[in-house]
Amino acid sequence: MDGKVAKELLHIREWLMRAQTIVDAGREAYDDDPLLQEAGDSLMVKLGEAATRLSRGGYVPPGGVDWSEAIANRNWIIHQYDQVDRDITWTTLSRDLPEWRSSLAPVIAEAERSLGGGAGGSPSVAERPHRDPGRATLRLDQLHEHAVRAPGMDERDGSVRTRPRCPVDQLDAGIGQLRERGRDIGHLEADVVEPLPP
């Protein structure tokens, strides 16, 4: 099996498992918890995106799985987010996605063998801890150690250009300078524009 296809299928496996977790909480919990609803929407969007990639790559799904339905569902959730019907999303989560899980089981098993376990050889979501305690994490106040790209102003012609990478504290100083220049321009405009006669 192609490595890209195998990775997409293993992502699908993870998302289907997470969708089942939502279903296991029950319909009442789903209806009462906007975060569960949003989580379900997010999973369906991801499944639709994976379906798009697999479909474009020419991977034909097994019987019981229709890429075009997942793609249409993704597009509806993204573009008509204010019209999402929770009865329909619950049906998708509780009836359609478990059917996908059954239909995809043989090809997911093949993908696991192809990659030696999970995506890139990693364990499935059920096999790994929620958070690796040995993994370093950054707080927002520590991000200054990381470089970012920031727009800058070319002094010669006033055009905006991209600066080389710089630490966040330098970026903050640059943004302050740009804001100050904007205020200066605003004052100039106020001095130049004369009120219209009555």
Domain boundary at 60, 88, 121, which? 121
Are the C-beta atoms of residues 13 and 108 closer than 8 Å to each other?
A: yes
Range of the domain at 148: 140-192
My answer on whether 114 and 30 are in the same domain is yes
Q: Is residue 131 part of a domain?
A: no
Instruction: Give yes or no: residues 28 and 117 share one domain.
Output: yes
85 with 15, same domain: the answer is yes
Among residues 6, 8, 7, 17, which one has the least CA distance to residue 128?
A: 17
Render pLDDT for 25-35 as a digit per residue (tens, 0 to 9): 999 999 999 99
Q: Which amino acid, residue 179?
A: R
Q: What is the pLDDT of residue 141?
A: 44
Domain boundary (89, 121, 153) is at 121
102 plus 148 within the same structural domain: no
- All residues at 6 or more sequence positions from 66 whose CB lies less than 8 Å from its CB, including other chains: none
**What pLDDT band is residue 2 in, cutting at 50, 70 and 90?**
confident
pLDDT at 134: 45
- Residue 138: name the closest of 129, 130, 126, 146 by CA: 146
Give the rounded percent of residues in the chain with a pLDDT score beyond 90: 49
Query: What is the number of domains present in the chain?
Result: 2
Look at residue 51 and tell me if it is in a domain: yes
Note the pLDDT of residue 153.
Answer: 45
> Does the pLDDT of residue 37 top 70, yes or no?
yes
Phi (first) and psi of residue 116, to 5 degrees: 75, 40
Same domain flag for 115 and 168: no
Same domain, 95 and 53: yes
**Residue with structure tokens 């370093």?**
136
**What confidence tens digit (pLDDT) does each residue in 42-88 have?**
999 999 999 999 999 899 999 999 999 999 999 999 998 889 999 99
Q: Which of 61, 86, 121 is the last residue of a domain?
A: 121
Mean pLDDT of 8-14: 94
Range 138-146, long-range pairs (CB < 8 A, 24+ positions): 143/168, 144/168, 144/169
The region of weakest confidence among 53-67, 86-100, 167-181 is: 167-181
Instruction: Assess if residue 129 is contained within a domain.
Output: no
3-class DSSP assignment, residue 160: strand
Q: Report how far residue 26's alpha carbon sits from residue 28's, in angstroms, rounded to the nearest whole number.
A: 6
Question: Is the domain of 28 the same as that of 75?
Answer: yes
53 in the same domain as 7: yes
Q: Are residues 36 and 106 in the same domain?
A: yes
The reply to whether 49 and 96 lie within a common domain is yes
Residues 50/108, Cβ–Cβ less than 8 Å: no
Residues 20 and 86 both lie in one domain: yes
pLDDT in tens, 115-147: 875 444 444 544 444 444 444 444 444 444 433
